[in-house]
Amino acid sequence: MAAPSPSLQREQQHAADIIRLLTLYRPLLDAYVIDFFVEGLWAQLPPPWQAALATAAPQQLAGLLGGRGGAGATWPLSLLAFAAAARALAFPRGQSGGGSPRPPCQSARLHPLLRRHVKPKKQHEIRRLGKLLQRLSQATSCDRVVDVGAGQGHLSRFLAFGLGLSVTAVEGDGRLAGMAERFDRELLRELGKRGVLGNEGPPQCCQTPTRRPPPPLTPRGPRHVAGRLDPGAPWGEFLLPPHPPGPGPAARNPLGGPGGAEGGQRVLVTGLHACGDLSPALLRHFARSPAVAAIASVACCYMKLSTPPQPPGCPPGYPLSSWVATLPGHELSYRAREAACHALEEYAGRLRRQSCSLRAHCYRAILETLIRAAHPGMKHPGVQTVKKAHALSFPQYARLGLPRVGLDPATIPLETEAVGAMLEQQHKVVAFFSLTLLLAPLVETLILLDRLLYLREQGFQCALVPLFNPRFSPRNLVLVAARTPLGTVLAGLHEDSSDDEDAGGAEPPSS
C-alpha cells in the first residue's frame, strides 16, 4: 500500500492538531452564553483571563479576535497563546477587519436583469461561484450543471442566462421552485422587450470611467425540478418528492435514466450554502458517481449535520473521512457546530463600533436566569429573536420574551437589585462570547477539513478556496473537487477577484 502523500499527511496532522486544541478548551466550546449567570461561566475562566477581560474595551476584544492585540491591552500569555493557536489552525478566510460590513451597492459586474430580486450579498456570491463553475466547465469540457438546493434560482439563472451553461436547478421546496420559474419568465419577457443584446449598464452608484459593462445575456434559461436529494440512492435515482408535495405529477430525475447524466453526458454539481447534511450528501454522490465530473460545494447550517450513532444505511454528515472518525475527541456537540455558523468578522465589527446590539446576549442570559428561577425544569426555551432588543430596556425586552415561553411577566420581578447587578456585567458577557467566537472558525475548519480528507482518501483532486468576502458572507469557503487536475481552475481565481469590484480578496486555495 502506497504511503500517504505529503499534502495528505499535512492535512491529517492539521485535523489532529485542531482536535487536540478543541479538547483542551471543550468547556468553552460547549458553553451556551445564555447560561452565563445560571452556570457561573465567568468563574470557570482562568483567573488571569478574568482580570484582563474584565477591563478590556470592546475595541480591544475586536483586536484579540482579529489578531491585532488591541491598543492598550495587556493580555496574559496563556490567553494570547490560545488566540494565536486558534487563528493559526483555522483556514484563511480572505480579507477581514475594516471596511463596510455589507457590499456598498449592487454588483456592477452582474447584468441588471440578474440583479432583480437578489440582495447585494447574494449577487456577490452568485457571481464569484458562477465564475468558478465556468472555469470548472472549461477545464472538464462539461457545460451541464446541476444546482442542488437552488432556492429561488438566482445562481442557476446567472449560470444559464449569464454564462450560457446548461443548468438544471433542483429544489426541495416546491414553492421556491415555482417562484424561480416565475422569475425566469419575468426575465425572458424583459429580454423580449429590449432584445437579447440589450444592456442597461452598471447601476449609477457603481459607475466609473473604466468600468466595463456586464456581458449580454443568452436566451436559454435553467430547467427547474422540484425534488429532494436521497443521499442513499445512486446518482441517477436520487430524486425524492418535494416538500410540500406539488399538485402535478412526481418529479423525474434531472439526469434521466440509469445511464447517469442526461443524454449520457457528464455534469458539474454545485450547492450554494447547501444546508446541513445536503453538502456531505453531494460529496458522496460525486465520489461514487463517474457521471459527476466536478463539484463546488459551499456549506451552511453545521448544527443540522447528523452525527453518530445513525440508523443502518444512513451515514452521518460528520465525520465523513476515515481519518477524522478514528481520532479520539473528534466529536462535535450541537453547540460546537452551531458556534461554527457565527460570523466572527461581523461581530468584531460590532465590537469596534461599540454597537448597542452587543447587549442582546446579556439580556438573554438574564432572562434565562429569571426563567430558571420561576421554572427550574425549563432550560433553554425557544424565546426566538426579539426585534431591536438593543433599543429596549431590559424590562421591556423581558415583557416581550416571557410570554413566548408561556410565562406571565406580571408574576416575575424585572427591576430588582439582582437584575441590576447582572446588567452591570454586560461587558463580561460580551468578553466571554468573544472567547467562544475564537473557536468558531476552528470548528468550521475541522468540518471542512474532514470533507477534504474524505475526498483525498479516494484519490480526488480537491481544494478549499475562500471565495467570498467574509465581512458580509461568513460561510465563504468553497470545497472544489474534480476527477481531473485543478491547477488551471485555481490558478486564475485571484485574477478573477481583482477584476471583481465586490470581490472578497480571495487568498490562494488550500489544496
Alpha helices in 3-107 (DSSP H): 6-24, 26-29, 47-54, 58-66, 77-89
CB atoms within 10 A of CB 223: 17
Handedness of CA 486, 491, 497, 503 (dihedral sign): positive
Task: Provide the phi-psi class of 67: left if phi over 0, else alpha when psi is between -120 and 50, else beta.
Answer: left
Distance, CA of 153 to CA of 165 (rounded, Å): 14
With a CB cutoff of 8 Å and minimum separation 6, the contacts of 44 are: 27, 31
Return the closest-CA partner of residue 286 out of 149, 127, 166, 454: 454
Torsion of CA 157, 290, 461, 456, to 10 degrees: 120
Return the closest-CA partner of residue 276 out of 296, 293, 243, 300: 300
pTM for the structure as a whole? 0.88
Predicted pLDDT at 491: 83
DSSP states along 274-318: EETTHHHHHHHHHHH-TTEEEEEEEEE-GGG---SS--TT---SS
CB 437 within 8 A of CB 342: yes
CB 67 within 8 A of CB 373: no
With a CB cutoff of 8 Å and minimum separation 6, the contacts of 246 are: 174, 178, 226
Element (H, E) at 478: strand 477-482
CB 126 within 8 A of CB 158: yes
CB 63 within 8 A of CB 71: yes
Distance, CA of 45 to CA of 137 (rounded, Å): 51
Question: How does strand 461-466 pair with strand 292-300?
Answer: unpaired
pLDDT in tens, the chain (511 residues): 556 677 889 999 999 999 999 999 999 999 999 999 999 999 999 999 999 999 999 999 999 998 765 556 789 999 999 999 999 999 988 754 444 455 546 666 788 888 888 888 899 999 999 999 999 999 999 999 999 999 999 999 999 999 999 999 999 888 999 999 999 999 999 888 766 544 544 444 554 445 566 678 888 899 998 888 877 777 667 777 776 665 544 455 655 543 334 455 799 999 999 999 999 999 999 998 899 999 999 999 999 999 999 888 788 999 999 999 999 999 999 999 999 998 888 899 899 998 888 999 999 999 999 999 999 989 988 888 888 888 899 999 999 999 999 999 999 999 999 999 999 999 999 999 999 999 999 999 999 999 999 999 999 989 999 999 888 888 999 999 999 999 888 887 766 555 554 444 445 455 5
Return the C-alpha cell found at 267.
455534469
Return the C-alpha cell found at 82.
490560545
